[in-house]
Amino acid sequence: MPEAGKSQSLKVTKVNGDIITFDAGEFGEIEVINNDLILKFKEGQSADVFLLPDTNGTVKGFLGKALVNAGEFARLKVVSNTQFGTFFDMGLEKDLFCPFAEQKTEMEINFYYTVYVYIDSETNRLVASTKIDKFISDEKPELLESQSVEIFILNKSQLGYNAVVANKYHGLLYDNEVFSELKPGHKVNAIIKKIREDNKIDLRLYKNDHSDIEEFENMILEYMKAHDGQMHLNDESEPEEIYKVFGISKKNFKKALGGLYRKGTIDLKDTIIKIL
């Protein structure tokens, strides 16, 4: 069912020049202007449309996928400051409004800021807020340890990387378990390591179990097959070199090499590892 404040695939019901009519479910049929000189549409096909809520309870449609949907966090660029508030680029023809009341600090044009996007219950308008802490829950997470989740990187701290888990909860990736720089706004998949008593979540990037090691083994074999059956990386290589090629820690790399060696798949006698 189509939802306001989100990009979704809708079916074309009518084409009249640059006016494309889509079936928007409970919102009825909506007309969208096609300003793309190349992209053409025909009845029956589907296309991505962002349904922007209007103040009168209806929605307006914009072609394409937005950089963020209602109920999500994002890192967006300021495109203008006005007497009414600030506007962010959200990847559509329409910019995203951030009222002064939802601004934590004064914002500058062309700078990026972390925001939470939601539909304001009083105005029915899609808005952004840089006061993100009030949108992160302190309640006990409805999640399980070892569960795979998507996380949004907020910032780097002394302990590691602060993140929002599943668009709702506080999370932390410890520095000693991250082997590349993560930047604010990055979205990555992570594993719930532990749900703490304060309801914050400790995270890791891998499960570090048998299923992960098998995946790493396959990655190494595919790499070697693409490089004449051999590899210059070995268990003496620097962690940064290993991560650059495979995106995994040296510890997991060595586990995968050990697994392949025990299976008789590779030769570890020389500094250059070869497929047997």
pLDDT at position 114 is 98
Phi, psi of 160, deg, nearest 5:
165, -130
Q: Where are the domains of the chain?
A: 7-63, 72-134, 148-204, 210-275
Tell me which fold the domain 210-275 belongs to. Answer: Arc Repressor Mutant, subunit A (1.10.10)
Q: How do residues 243-265 score in pLDDT, each as one tens digit?
A: 778 877 788 888 888 888 888 88
More confident residue, 243 or 94: 94
| Beta carbons of 125 and 119 less than 8 angstroms apart | yes
Kindly state the helix (H) or strand (E) to which residue 114 belongs, with its residue range. Answer: strand 112-119
For 7-63, which CATH class?
mainly beta
pLDDT at position 211 is 62
| Beta carbons of 184 and 111 less than 8 angstroms apart | no
Torsion sign (Cα): 130, 190, 150, 185: positive
* 207 pLDDT tier (thresholds 50, 70, 90): low
Contacts of 45 (CB under 8 A, 6+ apart): 11, 12
CA atoms of 132 and 190, how far apart (whole Å)? 21
Percent with pLDDT over 90 in the chain: 64
Q: How do residues 27-54 score in pLDDT, each as one tens digit?
A: 999 999 998 877 889 999 999 999 999 8
Q: Is the pTM of this model over 0.85?
A: no
| Beta carbons of 58 and 26 less than 8 angstroms apart | no
Instruction: Answer yes or no: is pLDDT of 71 > 90.
Output: yes
Q: Please check whether the two domains, 7-63 and 72-134, share a CATH topology.
A: yes
Place of tokens 């009825």: 28
Tell me which fold the domain 148-204 belongs to. Answer: OB fold (Dihydrolipoamide Acetyltransferase, E2P) (2.40.50)
Neighbours of 245 (CB within 10 A): 15
Architecture of domain 72-134: Beta Barrel (2.40)
